[in-house]
């Protein structure tokens, strides 16, 4: 298999923030690669460097064999980018936006109108195609934005948080579109804060935090690293949650994560630990109202790796990721 993207020792600093602090990865052609991490982790910076928008301070990045610094034009001929914002012109109609992107991507003119019709149809924008984009809903804009990155049928596609602001149905439709593109040979690089999304789509993924890769592999591998299952105990009103935390902590050997009345902890040996835990709690008269044993999600992976949840990190992040 040939390599679509190759990144070595990539570093980028913005005045006071080290956005990327030396990252390496390789993406085989025709796969979906997930870049995961909280806001400000460096995902967007990595995408912008690969899409030739920013230049790296150090390290190299190649797209289909072309260096992003030495041959930016060749890279631009082969990529599509849907950035973090719905970057379409509000005064143009949907059709005009797509036509403009086709022209700027230097597509042979006779190929543009049929391609635009095709995209309007597959993104459910046929009826809205001749209306100015400023009359669109947020979800429609986002769909048009993704469509705009596909006009030239780019061999390598960058999607920076493509489903942010989409409802569940649109999100699933977009996932299907992405899967179809990959079947046709496109390589997709996807950043997301939705761990569920990476789980659903990505063949391989890296988790970035503070500009460094803190984990990589398939979603399955990452979950296995965490060990079998996750235990969740919901404590009822009036129970001594602090006491429950210390009791459970003593059994597991580490403090469980606490969210209000919910205690959560990974369990390498599944139900055995749970039984022991419940016996301890029962002896002390602390009764959980609900008990759950489930497969770990990437959220659990993220928590285990960084010590904080993805959502918390997002709240702490200072707005726009750079």
Write out the residues near other proteins by the rule CB under 8 A: 48, 51-54, 64, 73-74, 76-92, 96, 100-109, 111, 115, 132, 148-149, 151-155, 158, 184-186
CB-nearer residue toward other proteins: 105 or 304: 105
Helical H segments across 123-186, by residue range = 138-148, 168-183
Computed from CA positions of residues 193, 205, 30, 59, in that sequence, does the dihedral angle turn out positive or negative? Answer: positive
CB-nearer residue toward other proteins: 181 or 248: 181
Q: How far is the CB of 93 from other proteins (least distance, A)?
A: 9
Among 241, 169, 198, smallest CA distance to 32 is for 198
What 3-state class would DSSP assign to 232?
strand
Q: Contact, 208 vs 46, CB < 8 A? A: yes
Q: How far is the CB of 315 from other proteins (least distance, A)?
A: 23
CB-nearer residue toward other proteins: 53 or 69: 53
Q: How far is the CB of 163 from other proteins (least distance, A)?
A: 16
* Beta bridge pairs of residue 288: 235
Among 62, 47, 6, smallest CA distance to 160 is for 47
Beta-strand relationship, 187-192 and 204-209: unpaired
Q: How far is the CB of 104 from other proteins (least distance, A)?
A: 5
CB-nearer residue toward other proteins: 87 or 309: 87
Q: How far is the CB of 299 from other proteins (least distance, A)?
A: 28
CB-nearer residue toward other proteins: 82 or 233: 82
Structure token digits, residue 301? 């992976």
Residues 6+ apart with CB under 8 A from 241: 235, 258, 261, 263
CB-nearer residue toward other proteins: 185 or 236: 185
Q: How far is the CB of 81 from other proteins (least distance, A)?
A: 4
Q: How far is the CB of 208 from other proteins (least distance, A)?
A: 20
CB-nearer residue toward other proteins: 89 or 280: 89
Residues 6+ apart with CB under 8 A from 57: 11, 12, 13
Between CA 275 and CA 110 the distance in angstroms is: 68
Among 211, 220, 205, 195, smallest CA distance to 309 is for 195
């Amino acid at each position: 298999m040939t390599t679509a993207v190759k990144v070595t020792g990539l570093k980028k600093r913005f005045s006071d923030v080290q956005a990327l602090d030396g990252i390496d990865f390789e993406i085989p052609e025709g796969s979906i690669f997930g870049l995961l991490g909280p806001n400000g982790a460096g995902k967007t910076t990595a995408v912008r460097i690969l899409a030739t928008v920013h230049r790296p301070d150090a390290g190299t990045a190649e797209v289909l064999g072309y260096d992003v610094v030495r041959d930016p034009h060749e890279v631009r001929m082969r990529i599509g980018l849907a950035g973090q914002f719905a970057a379409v012109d509000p005064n143009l109609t949907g059709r005009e936006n797509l036509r403009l992107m086709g022209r700027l991507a230097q597509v042979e003119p006779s190929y543009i109108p049929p391609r635009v019709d095709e995209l309007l149809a597959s993104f459910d924008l046929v009826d809205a195609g001749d209306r100015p984009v400023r009359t669109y809903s947020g979800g429609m804009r986002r769909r048009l934005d993704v469509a705009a990155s596909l006009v030239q049928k780019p061999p390598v596609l960058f999607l920076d948080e493509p489903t942010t602001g989409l409802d569940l149905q649109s999100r699933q439709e977009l996932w299907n579109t992405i899967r179809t593109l990959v079947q046709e040979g496109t390589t997709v690089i996807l950043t997301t804060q939705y761990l569920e999304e990476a789980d659903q789509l990505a063949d391989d993924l890296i988790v970035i935090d503070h500009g460094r890769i803190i984990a990589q592999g398939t979603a399955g591998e990452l979950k296995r690293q965490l060990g079998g299952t996750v235990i969740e105990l919901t404590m009822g009103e009036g129970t001594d949650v602090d006491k429950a935390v210390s009791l459970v902590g003593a059994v597991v050997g580490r403090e469980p994560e606490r969210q209000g009345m919910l205690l959560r902890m990974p369990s390498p040996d599944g139900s055995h630990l749970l039984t022991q835990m419940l016996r301890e709690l029962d002896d002390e008269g602390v009764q959980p109202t609900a008990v759950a044993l489930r497969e770990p999600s990437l959220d659990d992976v993220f928590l285990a790796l960084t010590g904080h949840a993805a959502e918390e990190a997002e709240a702490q992040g200072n707005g726009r990721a750079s």
